[in-house]
């Protein structure tokens, strides 16, 4: 395990994630004809949240949020340290499960509906995420990210164009962008009640925001892996895709959950499974 990379991720991923959130807010405001907040506004908001009282219906909600953060940090840490990609996916799934459990512990019906929608989102994107892992293994012959990133071979995207496009489709769900922000939205243009995060305020909500910053940096790293071993090119493409996601978020209205699940499964079947089938037959 690359200990230095692990330490750098734990220390700097929330800084990068917060800056990306600030850029998101500024671009969103400009697209809506507003000047927008400063780039550092997400950090100011989180500091204010930690200075407020932690009001929760049940104490176990805070415990679940702490586990949500801990497993997300662990997931991103083992990814950037070059460990097993399969473990990364399972750990990421477990982290999101704790967020759902925390929402279910609240007494608000909006929180419960948000949790149910989060489960629907997981059902929608998980098949494509599994195809992502299988495809990278078939193209590189290993699950170990360090080996994938350092071995001199043609870039993985040459063998995985379908899985790349399919992963970008479900990335909109994972980043909680329209039209697939079913359980909650990072902006106020979709809803008054904040869905899965309705029952959280103060430090608990601050931890959720920081966890999302960690998650976003992890997801962009997963995009850049398609361009291994040229990871600098991958980082540039991942940043460009994040900007594209901001545009999509502001150009689309929220879709119904039926469309989200059905379209994601179709994309997984056609692009994901089709790419794997092509690798099996011609790889």
Secondary structure of residue 247 in the 3-state scheme: helix
- The pLDDT tens digits for 127-156 are 999 999 999 999 999 999 999 988 877 889
Distances (CA, A) of 138 to 70, 79, 132, 159, 275: 30, 18, 10, 9, 11
Between 282 and 123, the more confident residue is 123
Instruction: At 192, give phi and psi (nearest 5°).
Output: -85, -45
- The pLDDT score that the predictor gives to residue 108 is 80
CA–CA separation, 132 vs 146, rounded Å? 17
Task: For residues 169-192, give the mean pLDDT.
Answer: 79
The helix-helix angle for 202-224 and 3-31 (nearest 10°) equals: 100
- The pLDDT score that the predictor gives to residue 252 is 86
- Distance from the first to the final alpha carbon of the chain: 30
- The pLDDT tens digits for 64-114 are 999 999 999 999 999 999 999 999 999 999 999 999 999 998 778 888 888
- The pLDDT tens digits for 206-241 are 999 999 999 999 999 999 999 988 888 999 999 999
Owner of token pair 């601050």: 206
Q: Is 154 exposed, middle or buried (0-12, 13-18, 19+ CB in 10 A)?
A: exposed
- For 138-177, the DSSP string reads HHHS-SBHHHHHHS--S-GGGT-HHHHHHHHHHHHHHTT-
- The pLDDT score that the predictor gives to residue 36 is 86
User: Residue 123: is its pLDDT beyond 90?
Assistant: yes
Q: How many residues does the chain have?
A: 283
User: Residue 160: is its pLDDT beyond 90?
Assistant: yes
- The pLDDT score that the predictor gives to residue 2 is 67
């Amino acid at each position: 395990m690359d200990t230095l990379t692990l330490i750098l991720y734990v220390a700097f991923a929330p800084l990068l994630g917060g800056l990306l959130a600030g850029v998101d807010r500024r671009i969103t405001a400009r697209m809506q004809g507003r000047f927008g907040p400063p780039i550092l506004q997400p950090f100011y908001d989180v500091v204010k949240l930690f200075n407020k009282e932690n009001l929760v219906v049940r104490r176990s909600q805070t415990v679940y949020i702490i586990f949500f953060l801990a497993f997300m940090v662990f997931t991103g840490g083992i990814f950037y340290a070059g460990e097993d990609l399969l473990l990364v996916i399972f750990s990421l799934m477990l982290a999101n499960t704790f967020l759902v459990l925390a929402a279910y512990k609240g007494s608000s019906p909006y929180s419960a509906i948000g949790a149910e929608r989060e489960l629907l989102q997981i059902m929608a994107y998980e098949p494509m995420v599994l195809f992502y892992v299988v495809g990278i293994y078939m193209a590189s012959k290993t699950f170990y990210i360090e080996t994938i990133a350092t071995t001199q071979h043609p870039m993985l995207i040459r063998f995985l164009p379908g899985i790349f496009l399919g992963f970008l489709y479900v990335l909109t769900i994972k980043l909680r962008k329209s039209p697939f922000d079913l359980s909650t939205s990072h902006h106020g243009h979709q809803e008054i009640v904040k869905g899965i995060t309705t029952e959280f305020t103060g430090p608990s909500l601050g931890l959720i925001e920081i966890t999302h910053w960690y998650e976003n940096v992890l997801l962009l790293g997963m995009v850049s892996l398609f361009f291994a071993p040229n990871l600098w090119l991958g980082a540039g493409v991942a940043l460009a895709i994040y900007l594209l996601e901001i545009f999509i978020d502001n150009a689309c209205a929220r879709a119904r959950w039926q469309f989200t699940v059905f379209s994601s499964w179709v994309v997984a079947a056609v692009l994901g499974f089709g790419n794997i089938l092509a690798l099996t037959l011609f790889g």
